[in-house]
């Protein structure tokens, strides 16, 4: 026994002197505003090496759709020793329920634990609703080779940084730039050139600006609380100032005051846009005669390097001609590089003799294929290709449930059924009438040389008449230095 043990006894305990970990959470806003980021800082000391910290948001009256990415936030990080770590979470620009919404922030040393922090926090809807809602929608198909910063339309042209657009959108190198009241309020990535027809919407709803492409929201900003009272700036179509010429096709530019037509994701219009209450402008391109008519506000158009009319629109394959390279039974080899669009199943192909048939397949590169043999013609024969514009009456020999079926292997004369698509109307035996729905059309589903159309009201044998939609109206083509000026108007001042 040592002398020390003899003095103090044998039950000797020596403390390690290691303090317990300490944590505190600070820096957050108890009430955050919608469309912004809340930040919290974890301060810690004497933490064992490689300790994982978990933070989670628990929805109260909020919901997952109130957060960026439609996901309620949460994450983890690893810490050691003494220091600070900052983390953050962000709300969408416009929360789903107006007014103050609640949620809980939990921080712990295991997932769902609250041993470090738990607190009730809030999102405040700050929309004062001072400024009026509006909607601007349009269809466009942008081509490459145009200006650097094309604007499909703009209210006011860009002259200087302080003298530019009242409202506009510009397509700039993979980014869509949103302008409001001479100010860029935000931007969002969007590939535009060569993407085909797209429906677009620029909407202000309760001071929140949203952008939609083909019905899907891709831009949201709560920077829409800007007064739009300037009635001196013209509306331009196909132009927006320096380097702002648009090259491509435009259709159905539509301006609505005092109304947010779209507030959530939607299906793009399946037919030409029509005016509604509060509409102040609509450029429908309803025919070649009324190219530049505003059929709502009767604005007068001033043309520069006149845009031209085109059959091309979001729903119609434009008719055109081609010269065949070769023939082979059911195939015609065509000069597809000279077609403006790739051919699709159901297009009608005809020649000068009066022969016609409908495309059954486009699987063979640079060919169109028919179920029936195409006649051999002299070299250089010119063919016309396009959509069927006339009603088709057929004797349907086979049905199954609600399916009208044309079995071409048994009834080759039923090939016109290939032309029928969603949007066509039908009239069948027993007064069976309606419109072919969007998911109705299937070609050769079972390898039976078969065309199947699902008729919601039921199918029966006998004579059916299918009628194509009325002319969709085409579009305006802007060559890259042409545009339309509709002048200034109180209608362009959304808050006046």
Tokens representing 168 are: 């506009």
Q: Where are the domains of the chain?
A: 22-124, 134-310+479-492, 320-386, 392-467
Biggest CA–CA distance in the chain, Å, is 125
Q: Angle at the Cα of 363 (from 447 to 473), degrees rounded to 5?
A: 105
Closest CA to 227 of 137, 127, 132: 132
SS3 368: strand
Q: Are domains 22-124 and 134-310+479-492 of this chain identical in fold?
A: no
Are the C-beta atoms of residues 273 and 282 closer than 8 Å to each other?
A: yes
Are the C-beta atoms of residues 362 and 343 closer than 8 Å to each other?
A: yes
Q: Which CATH architecture has domain 134-310+479-492?
A: Sandwich (2.60)
Could you tell me which residues come within 8 angstroms of residue 350 by beta carbon, excluding any fewer than 6 positions away?
356, 383, 384
Could you tell me which residues come within 8 angstroms of residue 379 by beta carbon, excluding any fewer than 6 positions away?
none
Q: E strands of 27-182, at which residues?
A: 31-33, 37-59, 74-90, 101-108, 117-124, 134-142, 153-155, 167-172, 175-180
In degrees rounded to 5, what are phi and psi of residue 8?
A: -110, -5
Are the C-beta atoms of residues 145 and 247 closer than 8 Å to each other?
A: yes
SS3 113: coil
Please say whether the dihedral angle defined by the alpha carbons of residues 18, 21, 24 and 25, taken in this order, is positive or negative. Answer: positive
Closest CA to 268 of 385, 438, 144, 386: 438
Domain 320-386 falls in which CATH fold?
A: Thrombin, subunit H (2.40.10)
Residue 129: what pLDDT? 52
pLDDT, tens digit only, all 496 positions of the chain: 444 444 444 444 444 567 899 999 999 998 887 778 999 999 999 999 999 999 999 999 888 988 988 899 999 999 999 999 999 999 887 676 666 788 999 999 999 899 999 999 888 765 545 689 999 999 999 998 889 999 999 999 988 877 789 999 999 989 999 999 989 999 999 998 878 899 999 999 988 999 999 999 999 998 898 999 899 999 999 999 989 999 999 999 999 999 999 999 998 988 889 899 899 999 988 665 556 777 687 888 899 998 998 888 888 888 888 888 777 688 888 765 567 778 889 999 998 889 999 999 988 888 899 999 988 877 778 899 999 989 999 999 888 888 888 888 888 999 999 999 888 899 998 788 988 887 777 887 667 788 888 888 888 899 999 999 876 778 999 999 999 999 999 999 998 8
Taking the model in full, what pTM does it have? 0.65
Count how many Cα atoms sit within 13 Å of the Cα of residue 325 in the half-sphere of its side chain. Answer: 11
Tokens representing 24 are: 């505190």
Q: Which CATH architecture has domain 22-124?
A: Sandwich (2.60)
Residue 310: what pLDDT? 87
Are the C-beta atoms of residues 305 and 481 closer than 8 Å to each other?
A: yes
- Torsion (CA) 401, 405, 409, 414 in degrees, nearest 10: 150
Q: E strands of 382-449, at which residues?
A: 382-386, 392-396, 398-400, 403-407, 425-428, 432-435, 441-443
Are the C-beta atoms of residues 408 and 447 closer than 8 Å to each other?
A: no
The residues with which 184 forms a beta bridge, in sequence order, are: 179
Strands 475-479 and 367-369: unpaired
Strands 117-124 and 31-33: parallel
């Amino acid at each position: 026994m040592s002398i020390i043990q003899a003095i103090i006894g044998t039950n000797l305990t020596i403390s390690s002197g290691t303090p317990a970990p300490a944590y505190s959470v600070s820096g957050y806003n108890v009430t955050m505003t919608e469309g912004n980021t809340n930040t919290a800082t974890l301060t810690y000391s004497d933490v064992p090496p490689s300790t994982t910290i978990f933070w989670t948001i628990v929805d109260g009256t909020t919901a997952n759709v109130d957060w960026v990415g439609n996901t309620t936030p949460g994450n983890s990080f690893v810490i050691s020793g003494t220091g600070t770590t900052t983390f953050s979470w962000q709300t969408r620009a416009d929360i789903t329920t107006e007014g103050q919404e609640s949620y809980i922030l939990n921080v712990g040393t295991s997932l769902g634990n609250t041993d470090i922090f738990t607190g009730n926090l809030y999102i405040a809807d700050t929309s004062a609703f001072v400024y009026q809602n509006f909607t601007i929608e349009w269809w466009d198909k942008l081509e490459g080779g145009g200006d650097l910063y094309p604007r499909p339309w703009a209210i006011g042209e860009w002259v200087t940084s302080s003298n530019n657009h009242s409202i506009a959108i510009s397509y700039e190198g993979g980014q869509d730039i949103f302008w409001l009241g001479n100010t860029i309020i935000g931007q969002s990535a969007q590939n535009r050139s060569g993407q085909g027809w797209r429906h677009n919407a620029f909407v202000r709803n309760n001071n929140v600006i949203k952008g939609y492409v083909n019905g899907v929201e891709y831009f949201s900003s709560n920077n829409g609380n800007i007064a739009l009272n300037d009635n001196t700036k013209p509306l331009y179509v196909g132009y927006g100032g320096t380097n702002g010429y648009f090259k491509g096709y435009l259709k159905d530019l539509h301006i609505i005051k005092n109304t947010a037509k779209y507030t959530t994701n939607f299906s793009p219009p399946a037919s030409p846009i029509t005016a509604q209450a509060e509409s102040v402008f609509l450029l429908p391109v309803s025919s070649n005669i009324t190219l530049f008519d505003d059929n709502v506000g009767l604005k007068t158009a001033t043309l520069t390097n006149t845009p031209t009319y085109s059959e091309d629109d979001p729903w119609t394959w434009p008719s055109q001609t081609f010269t065949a390279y070769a023939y082979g039974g059911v195939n015609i080899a065509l000069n597809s590089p000279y077609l403006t669009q790739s051919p699709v199943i159901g297009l009608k192909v005809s020649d000068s003799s009066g022969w016609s048939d409908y495309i059954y397949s486009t699987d063979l590169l640079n060919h169109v294929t028919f179920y029936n043999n195409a006649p051999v013609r002299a070299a250089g024969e010119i063919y016309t290709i396009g959509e069927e514009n006339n009603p088709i009456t057929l004797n349907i020999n086979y049905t199954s449930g609600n399916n009208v079926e044309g079995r071409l292997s048994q009834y080759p004369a039923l090939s016109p059924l290939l032309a029928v698509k969603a949007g066509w109307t039908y009239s069948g035996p027993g007064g069976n009438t309606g419109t072919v729905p969007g998911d109705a059309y299937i070609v050769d589903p079972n390898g039976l040389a078969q065309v199947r159309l699902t008729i919601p009201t039921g199918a029966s044998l006998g004579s059916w008449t299918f009628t194509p939609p009325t002319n969709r109206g085409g579009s305006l083509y802007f060559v890259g230095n042409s545009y339309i000026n509709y002048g200034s108007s109180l209608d362009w001042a959304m808050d006046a």
